[in-house]
Amino acid sequence: MAVLLLPEGFDTSRWPRAKYIPLRAVEERLPGECDRP
């Protein structure tokens, strides 16, 4: 569930495919958010 890695303000309703976004894309946009345990 990559959605948990997304920021709280991220609109999943606008991006229904967010669940399928590769972890790489998330790390590039939020390098600090993925560092959290």
Question: Rounded to whole angstroms, how far apart are CA atoms 13 and 34?
Answer: 21
pTM, two decimal places: 0.17
21 is in which domain, residue-wise? 1-37
Reported as a single tens digit per residue, the pLDDT across 18-37 is: 555 555 555 555 555 555 55
Number of domains forming the structure of the chain: 1
The pLDDT of residue 1 is 45
Rounded to 10 degrees, what is the CA torsion of 23, 35, 1, 3?
Answer: -90
Question: Rounded to whole angstroms, how far apart are CA atoms 32 and 37?
Answer: 11
Question: Rounded to whole angstroms, how far apart are CA atoms 14 and 31?
Answer: 22
